[in-house]
C-alpha cells in the first residue's frame, strides 16, 4: 500500500495551502478495494480527489486522499467509455476527433471526467447529464463496484446523487453521443456567437468547441495566473409568484426558465450590489467576472467561507434570495 505524505497546494486550482498525511493514486477498482480494506482496519475514510478545480481544500486532510489515474478512452460507434482520471477538456476534443458529438458547449470546463457528473457540469445550454448512459462507481460502504444508470443519478441543476452520497467514487463514465454534429446555439442570441458552417462535421465541431473555449477564457480568469474554482455561486431558481411579488427583481434579466421556475443571474445581482472587485485580505471577487473568487496570495478555506458568507448576506438583504455555493468544501 503506497501511501505518501503530499503537499496539495498545486493539486487545487484555488492554490489553497493544504496537505494530506496519506495520499494514494490508483488505476482500477481493485486497488481502491485494497485501500478501502486498509481504511476500515485503521478507522480512516477515503476522500476522492479529481483535479481540485471545483473543490475547496482544508488546511489538513484527516482522511486518505485518493486520486484516480484511470485514463481509459474507448469508442464503440456513438458510445464512449472514459476513465475518471482523464481531463474533461481533453475528453471533449478527443470525442470530436473520433466523430462523436454533443459535448462541444462543455469544452473548456476544468476538472476531470470523474468529477464532471457529481455537479452535473453545464454551460451554454448543455449539461453532461444529457449524454450519460451509465456510470461505474466504487461503493465504499458496500466495498464493491456498482453501476448507475442515468435515472439513478438524480441529476438536477448542478447536482446529483453523488453530492449527497460520499460513499460513491466514480471510476468510469459511459456517454451516448451523436454521430452527426448539430451545434447547440439555444443559449446564444443571433449574431452574438457564430462559427462558419463546415461540411466536415469534425472540423465544424472542432471550430465550435474552440470558440466555446475562447468565450470561457474571455470571462473566467486563467487559474494559472489567478487561482480560482470557476463560478462560485449557482444561478438562483425562483417561482414565478416569488418573482412577480418581489419588486427588486423587476430590473433583473430573467436568464432562463427551468420548468415552472425562473432562473436569474447571480453575477448580475453581485454586480448591482457593488461587490465586484471586493477584497478580503488575499482573497477577492474578480473584476473580470462577479461569480469568480480569486486567490491573490496565501489564503485558507476559512477566509473563503468568510467571503462567501458576506456575499450571501448582502444578496439576501438586497433581493431576499439566498445564493447557493457551487464548489464543494472537502
The H or E element that residue 204 is part of is helix 201-219
Question: In sequence order, what are the residues at sequence separation of 6 or more whose Cβ sits closer than 8 angstroms to the Cβ of residue 188?
Answer: 124
- Reading the block at residue 103, the C-alpha cell is 459535448
CA 319 to chain CA centroid, nearest Å: 26
How far apart CA 118 and CA 110 sit, in angstroms, is 14
Cα distance between residue 317 and residue 192, in whole Å = 34
Tell me the HSE value of 252 on the side-chain side, using a 13 A CA sphere: 27
Question: Is 214 assigned a catalytic role?
Answer: no
Q: How far is Cα 174 from Cα 302, in angstroms, rounded to an integer?
A: 37
User: How many Cβ atoms sit within 10 Å of the Cβ of residue 197?
Assistant: 10
Q: What's the grid cell of residue 167? A: 460513499
Residue 231 appears among annotated catalytic residues: yes
Residue 93 makes CB contacts below 8 A (sequence gap 6+) with 107, 206, 209
| Contact residues for 138 (Cβ-Cβ < 8 A; gap 6+) | 29, 32, 33, 36, 144, 145, 146, 168, 169, 171
Of 68, 231, 265, 286, catalytic: 231
**Strand intervals (E) in 106-228:** 122-123, 126-127, 132-139, 144-149, 168-176
130 is catalytic: no
**Exposure string for 150-165, b = 16+ CB within 10 A, e = fewer:** beebbbebbbbebeee
- In the set 68, 127, 158, 308, the catalytic residue is 158
DSSP for 93-116, written as a single string: HHHHHTT-BS-GGGTT--SBTTTT
Which residues lie across from 25 on neighbouring strands? 67
Which residues are known catalytic residues? Answer: 158, 231, 326
Amino acid at each position: 500500500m503506497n501511501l505518501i505524505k503530499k503537499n496539495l497546494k498545486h493539486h487545487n486550482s484555488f492554490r489553497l495551502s493544504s496537505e494530506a498525511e496519506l495520499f494514494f493514486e490508483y488505476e482500477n477498482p481493485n486497488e481502491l478495494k485494497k485501500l478501502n480494506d486498509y481504511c476500515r482496519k485503521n478507522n480512516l475514510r477515503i476522500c476522492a480527489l479529481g483535479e481540485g478545480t471545483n473543490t475547496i481544500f482544508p488546511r489538513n486532510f484527516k482522511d486518505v486522499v485518493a486520486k484516480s489515474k484511470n485514463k481509459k478512452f474507448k469508442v464503440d460507434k456513438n458510445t464512449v467509455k472514459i476513465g475518471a482520471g482523464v481531463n474533461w477538456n481533453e475528453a471533449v476534443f478527443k470525442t470530436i476527433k473520433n466523430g462523436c458529438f454533443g459535448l462541444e458547449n462543455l469544452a473548456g470546463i476544468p476538472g476531470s471526467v470523474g468529477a464532471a457528473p457529481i455537479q452535473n457540469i453545464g454551460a451554454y445550454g448543455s449539461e453532461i447529464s444529457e449524454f450519460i448512459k451509465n456510470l461505474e462507481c466504487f461503493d465504499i460502504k458496500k466495498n464493491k463496484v456498482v453501476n448507475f444508470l442515468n435515472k439513478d443519478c438524480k441529476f438536477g441543476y448542478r447536482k446529483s446523487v453523488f453530492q449527497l452520497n460520499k460513499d460513491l467514487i466514480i471510476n468510469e463514465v459511459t456517454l451516448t453521443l451523436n454521430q452527426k454534429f448539430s451545434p447547440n446555439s439555444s443559449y446564444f442570441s443571433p449574431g452574438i456567437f457564430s462559427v462558419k458552417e463546415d461540411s466536415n462535421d469534425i472540423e465544424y465541431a472542432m471550430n465550435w468547441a474552440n470558440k466555446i473555449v475562447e468565450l470561457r477564457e474571455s470571462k473566467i480568469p486563467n487559474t494559472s495566473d489567478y487561482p480560482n474554482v470557476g463560478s462560485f455561486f449557482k444561478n438562483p431558481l425562483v417561482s414565478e409568484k416569488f418573482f412577480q411579488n418581489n419588486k427588486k427583481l423587476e430590473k433583473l434579466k430573467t436568464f432562463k426558465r427551468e420548468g415552472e421556475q425562473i432562473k436569474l443571474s447571480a453575477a448580475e445581482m453581485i454586480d448591482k450590489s457593488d461587490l465586484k472587485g471586493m477584497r478580503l485580505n488575499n482573497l477577492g471577487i474578480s473584476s473580470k467576472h462577479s461569480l469568480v473568487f480569486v486567490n491573490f496570495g496565501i489564503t485558507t478555506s476559512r477566509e473563503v467561507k468568510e467571503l462567501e458568507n458576506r456575499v450571501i448576506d448582502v444578496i439576501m438583504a438586497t433581493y431576499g434570495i439566498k445564493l447557493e455555493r457551487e464548489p464543494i468544501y472537502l
